[in-house]
Amino acid sequence: MENEWRAKRLEGKPLSSVDTLENNPEPTPAETAHTHELPDSGEAHGLAGEHTHDHDHDHQHGPVLNPDCTRELVLDIPAEDVSKSFRSVIRNYQKYAKIPGFRAGKVPETVIKRRYASEIRKDVIDGLLPERFNQAVRELGVAPVGQPQVTELTVDDGSPLHVKAVFEFIPAFSIEGYQNVTVPKPSVEITEDEVQQEMAQLRESRATIEPVEEDRALVDGDWAQISYKGTIEGEPEAAPVDGEDTLVEIGGKDTVEAFTTALRGARPGETLNVAAAYPAEYPEPKLSGKTVDYTIEVKGIKKRTLPEVNDDFAKEVGAFESLADLETRVRENLANRKRRSVEGETKDKLFAALIERFPFPVPESLVQEQIDARLERGLRALAAQGMDTEQMRKLDFGRLRAAQRDSAVAEVKTSLLLERIAREENVTISEEELDREIHLAALQSREPVDTLKVRLTQDGGLARIREQLKREKTAHLLYERLPA
CA distance linking residue 107 with residue 91, whole number of Å: 10
In 119-160 the beta strands, taken as DSSP E runs, fall at: 143-154
HSE value, Cβ hemisphere, 13 Å, CA-based, for 223: 15
What is the length of the chain?
A: 484
CA distance linking residue 380 with residue 174, whole number of Å: 37
* Terminal CA-CA length for the chain: 22
CA distance linking residue 448 with residue 432, whole number of Å: 18
Q: What angle do CA 187, 192, 195 make, to 5 degrees?
A: 95
CA distance linking residue 323 with residue 310, whole number of Å: 6
CA distance linking residue 338 with residue 194, whole number of Å: 10
CA distance linking residue 409 with residue 431, whole number of Å: 31
What are the residues facing 305 on neighbouring strands?
Answer: 208
pLDDT for the residue numbered 102: 85
Helix, strand, coil proportions of the chain in percent (round to 5)? 50, 15, 35
Q: Give me the tens of pLDDT residue by residue for the chain, a chain 484 residues long.
A: 544 433 343 333 333 333 322 223 333 222 322 322 333 333 333 454 444 334 343 434 446 899 999 999 999 999 999 999 999 999 999 888 888 888 878 888 888 899 999 999 999 999 999 999 989 998 998 888 988 899 999 999 999 999 999 999 999 999 999 999 999 999 999 999 999 999 999 999 999 999 999 999 999 999 999 999 999 999 988 889 999 999 999 999 889 999 999 999 999 999 999 999 999 888 888 898 999 999 999 999 999 999 999 999 999 998 899 999 999 999 999 999 999 999 999 999 999 999 999 999 999 999 999 999 999 999 999 998 888 888 889 899 999 999 999 999 999 999 999 999 999 999 999 999 999 999 999 998 899 999 998 999 888 889 999 999 999 999 999 999 999 8
Q: Is 268 left (phi over 0), alpha (psi -120 to 50) or beta?
A: beta
Q: How many angstroms separate the Cα of 423 from the Cα of each of 143, 144, 411, 416, 428?
A: 16, 19, 19, 11, 9
Q: How many CB atoms lie under 10 A from the CB of residue 351?
A: 23
CA distance linking residue 317 with residue 333, whole number of Å: 15
- Phi and psi at residue 481, in whole multiples of 5°? -80, -15
What are the residues facing 162 on neighbouring strands?
Answer: 76, 154
CA distance linking residue 466 with residue 471, whole number of Å: 9
Rg over alpha carbons for the chain, rounded to the nearest Å, is 32
In 155-211 the beta strands, taken as DSSP E runs, fall at: 161-170, 208-211
Quick check: helix, strand or coil at residue 145? Answer: strand
- With contact defined as beta carbons under 8 Å apart, do 103 and 161 qualify? no
Q: What is the biggest distance separating any 2 CA atoms in the chain, rounded to whole angstroms? A: 103
Q: What is the per-residue burial (b if ≥16 Cβ within 10 Å, else e) of 87-100?
A: eebbeebbeebeee
pTM value is 0.71
CA distance linking residue 287 with residue 280, whole number of Å: 8
**For 54, which DSSP code?**
-
**For 187, which DSSP code?**
-
**For 39, which DSSP code?**
P
